[in-house]
A and B are shown apart, each in its own frame.
Chain A
């Protein structure tokens, strides 16, 4: 069965802290994605990766960076967290060259105080 896991369900951080959100998939998928979800705005793509050590900016990359050292793991990094980064963060993965089904993790609700 397909599985995407995220390191934390809930996270509380302070302004200025460096924050790491981890995502792991066990499906040998090439593509991995990070979205944030906010009320009234839906899901917005932050970054995605189609191969190890490759990354592409999505619609709202400002204030974020990513790391993909291994195929199964995709990390989202907030270099200096700010209150406007309080949100639900969703990771997803999919097969390469197939704009098909994305499999989502359960999400991390991040609060920045």
Chain B
């Protein structure tokens, strides 16, 4: 079942601007992750934020998590042409076991030079 839903579905900005993508989910989570996918390729892990964390940084990436609203945002600062890709949020549900992640449908980001 689809858990994470990204918003917007597509985003086009100028190089150098900041890009913000949002993700909403439905059930309790252990952690939330963001992945990037370049056209026709596999996914690459960007960042993981645990349910007891509110904000996390990695280079030009900033992720926030609001468990009360069941939402997360990914901010890419000072965007570059190479950031053009699809971005997915994925949730790992709370509870035992090691089952797979539940992915959203993605935000397609285009950075205009």
Contact = CB atoms under 8 A, between A and B. Distances in A.
B100 A33 contact: yes
Contact of A106 (B41, B101, B103): B41
B100 A45 contact: yes
Interface residues of B, number: 26
Given A50-B98, A90-B43, A106-B42, A100 B103 contact: no
B103 A42 contact: yes
Contacts of A31: 98
Contacts of A33: 100
Contact of A100 (B48, B104, B105): B48
Interface residues of A, number: 33
Contacts of B31: 99-100
Interface string A81-113: 000000010101010111111111111010000
A92 B101 CA distance: 10
Interface in A56-93: 56, 58-59, 88, 90, 92
A43 interface: yes
A25 to B, nearest CB: 12
Given A48-B100, A107-B40, A43 B88 contact: yes
B78 interface: no
Given A31-B98, A58-B100, A96-B98, A101 B48 contact: yes
Interface of B: 1-2, 30-31, 33, 35, 40-45, 48, 88, 90, 92, 97-106
Interface of A: 4, 30-31, 33, 35, 40-45, 48, 50, 56, 58-59, 88, 90, 92, 94, 96-107, 109
